[in-house]
């Protein structure tokens, strides 16, 4: 049987990337953490056949992939087929977490409802506006957007399904109405949505534990247990070192030596509470900063063995690698470097 880490490489579709289009990769994973925009595109690209940065950008531009605050919550890429039921599941437990800050900022429920209605009027007609442009319009309508009010206003509107990211203006993100970016989708009961989320997570991220699912989803423990219980019959139970993991069918085929350059905040690392299967505790501080920044990682045979960074210049990209162990030799490293350069449609700088 393959290691936990290698099974994850297979189920996350990093090994033998098989999705023909970017949105299929996002739908498979359920949600892809995406505060680092360019790295989030690579997270999709590393799982998609013949993907390029431009193709992933086009999918975002056309609304085949959407970006919003959801789950824990932080920025995520999600499918338009999933965004509404995920928001319906996420928002009720996120709003209370934000309530303290809203009270300090004097953003009452009544005021926030009024602002949601104003934002709808500001953006209707398929307008895609930056945060600054929306704040200007709200200010004209007598809304105080100073301090961090603007950020909380927009997150509240995202969680309520009013807005999501729109088409980018240069390097700036915009916001657009969700109803104008995504077609109506079926509605589900809360119990059905819990089962959908658990199924999606364990099928795509397994082997994973209940605690991993709680971390990734942001759900209360009781809700996460209920969600897992509803899909247990569809999963395999795997016990390693007295820890219970849940996963789809496990592969018994040997995995050839392989190396991957994975992006910052990739689901292979960020979506598990316990990361010891892939990351040695001695290297934890190198790969993940004290304030929760996940760095771009080099994964060799399922293990995080180093870090990488890139510098993009016109038609070339310079890629620097740093391994935790001196003189470490990663199999297929040149292939991994070339895969990333091809994604950017650039040559590797010498």
Instruction: Provide the pLDDT confidence category of residue 150 given band limits of 50, 70 and 90.
Output: very high
Same structural domain for residues 126 and 265? no
Q: Residue 230: inside a domain, yes or no?
A: no
Q: Residue 333: inside a domain, yes or no?
A: yes
Same structural domain for residues 162 and 281? no
Percentage with pLDDT > 90 across the chain: 93
Q: Looking at residue 147, what is its pLDDT?
A: 80
Q: Residue 208: inside a domain, yes or no?
A: no
Give the range of the structural domain holding residue 116, as residue numbers without chain letter: 16-181
Number of domains within the chain: 2
Instruction: In whole angstroms, give the CA distance from residue 298 to residue 287.
Output: 10
Q: Residue 252: inside a domain, yes or no?
A: no
Same structural domain for residues 267 and 173? no
Q: Residue 218: inside a domain, yes or no?
A: no
* pLDDT (tens digit per residue) in 269-294: 999 999 999 999 999 999 999 999 99
Q: Residue 196: inside a domain, yes or no?
A: no
Domain boundary, last residue among 181, 197, 218: 181
Same structural domain for residues 27 and 118? yes
Domain boundary, last residue among 156, 181, 206: 181
Same structural domain for residues 69 and 177? yes
Mean pLDDT of 65-79: 96
Percentage with pLDDT > 70 across the chain: 99
Instruction: In whole angstroms, give the CA distance from residue 104 to residue 151.
Output: 14
Query: What sign does the CA torsion over 6, 82, 265, 245 have?
Result: negative
Domain boundary, last residue among 157, 181, 205: 181
* pLDDT (tens digit per residue) in 52-66: 999 999 999 999 999
Same structural domain for residues 269 and 156? no
Same structural domain for residues 283 and 174? no
* pLDDT (tens digit per residue) in 211-239: 999 999 999 999 999 999 999 999 999 99
Residue 322: name the closest of 293, 289, 350, 295 by CA.
Answer: 295
Task: Provide the H-helix boundaries in 127-244.
Answer: 131-140, 149-159, 178-181, 190-205, 210-217, 221-231
**DSSP output for 38-69:** HHHHHHHHTTBTT--HHHHHHHHHTTSSEEEE
Q: Looking at residue 1, what is its pLDDT?
A: 59
> At which residue do the structure tokens 């789809």 appear?
248
Q: Residue 244: inside a domain, yes or no?
A: no
Q: Residue 234: inside a domain, yes or no?
A: no
Mean pLDDT of 151-157: 96
Mean pLDDT of 307-328: 95
H or E segment at 269? helix 267-270
Q: Is the pLDDT of residue 182 over 80?
A: yes
Same structural domain for residues 115 and 24? yes
């Amino acid at each position: 049987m393959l290691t936990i880490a290698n099974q994850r490489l297979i189920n996350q579709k990093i090994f033998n990337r098989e999705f023909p289009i970017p949105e299929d990769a996002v739908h498979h994973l359920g949600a892809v953490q995406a505060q680092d925009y360019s790295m989030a595109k690579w997270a999709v690209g590393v799982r998609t056949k013949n993907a390029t940065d431009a193709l992933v950008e086009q999918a975002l531009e056309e609304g085949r992939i959407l970006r919003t605050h959801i789950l824990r919550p932080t920025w995520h890429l999600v499918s338009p087929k999933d965004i509404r039921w995920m928001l319906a599941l996420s928002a009720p437990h996120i709003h209370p977490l934000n309530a303290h800050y809203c009270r300090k900022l004097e953003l009452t429920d009544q005021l926030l409802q009024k602002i949601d209605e104003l934002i709808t009027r500001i953006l209707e007609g398929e307008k895609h506006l930056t945060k600054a442009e929306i704040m200007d319009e709200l200010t004209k309508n007598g809304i105080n957007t100073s301090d961090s009010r603007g950020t909380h206003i927009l997150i509240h509107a995202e969680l309520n399904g009013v807005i999501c990211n729109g088409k980018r203006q240069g390097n700036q993100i915009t916001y657009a109405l969700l109803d104008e970016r995504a077609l109506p989708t079926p509605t589900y009961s809360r119990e059905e949505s819990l089962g959908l989320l658990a199924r999606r997570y364990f099928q795509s991220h397994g082997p994973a534990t209940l605690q991993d699912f709680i971390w990734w989803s942001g759900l209360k423990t009781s809700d996460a247990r209920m969600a897992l219980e509803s899909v247990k019959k569809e999963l395999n139970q795997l016990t390693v070192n007295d820890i219970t993991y849940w996963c789809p069918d496990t592969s018994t085929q040997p995995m050839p030596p392989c190396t991957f350059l994975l992006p910052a905040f990739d689901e292979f690392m960020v979506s598990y509470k316990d990361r010891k299967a892939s990351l040695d505790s001695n290297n934890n501080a190198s790969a993940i900063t004290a304030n929760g920044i996940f760095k771009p990682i080099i994964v060799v045979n399922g293990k995080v063995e180093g870090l990488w960074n890139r510098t993009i210049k016109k038609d070339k990209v310079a890629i620097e690698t740093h391994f935790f162990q001196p003189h470490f030799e990663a199999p297929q490293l040149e292939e991994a470097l070339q895969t990333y350069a091809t994604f950017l449609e650039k040559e590797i700088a010498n």
